[in-house]
Amino acid sequence: LITDRGGNYESMLYVGVGVLALALLGFLSNWRERWLWAATVLFALWYALGSNGALWVLLIRVLPPLTWLRVPPRIWLLGIFALIVLAGYGLQTLYDPTQRAALRRLIPRLSIGVISVGVALGVIVLVAAPKQAASAIIGIVLVLITGTALLLWRRVPLSAWAVLIVLDLLLMDSTLIEGR
């Protein structure tokens, strides 16, 4: 949820604020049919934590050949795929005229939730790790933009969502480049 700018790429799980917001919308709009995608994300996230989460430690005791895999975060590819599918459902939900009536209450609540959580995490990072101030401020701004885009969803074109997601990921990825 908060980027680790310039951190170790092997341990990053960041997919972007826009993708997370759209995935959450895609899941909440029809959770009975999409629970398996959300379960895939949660399983991959829990397993990717490796020795920091109990699942990987338990599974390698039951299935020792799992230790042959290089690193547990590789399973996050499944989680990213599931998030992309859920984000696609979220975009479909936003642009489907038959779903608009059902979303009149969900989208403002989701927007307020995304903004609240994002700003709270950003403030926590600002207080706890002042060296990450730029990351926290950029994260807060992107969360505010995403929440506002969800609130104004009728007027936000598809290209604006693409720009938001690409800009967020470019800002994150640019911190991993080291010139030599």
Q: What is the pLDDT of residues 58-95, one digit of tens each?
A: 888 888 887 776 676 778 888 889 999 999 998 888 77
| CA distances from residue 154 to 28, 53, 110, 161, 172 in whole angstroms, order as listed | 18, 40, 15, 12, 28
Burial (CB count within 10 angstroms: exposed 0-12, middle 13-18, buried 19+), residue 15: buried
Q: What is the pLDDT of residues 99-127, one digit of tens each?
A: 766 676 777 777 777 777 777 777 777 77
Q: Indicate the average pLDDT of the chain.
A: 78
Q: What's this model's pTM, rounded to 2 decimal places?
A: 0.74
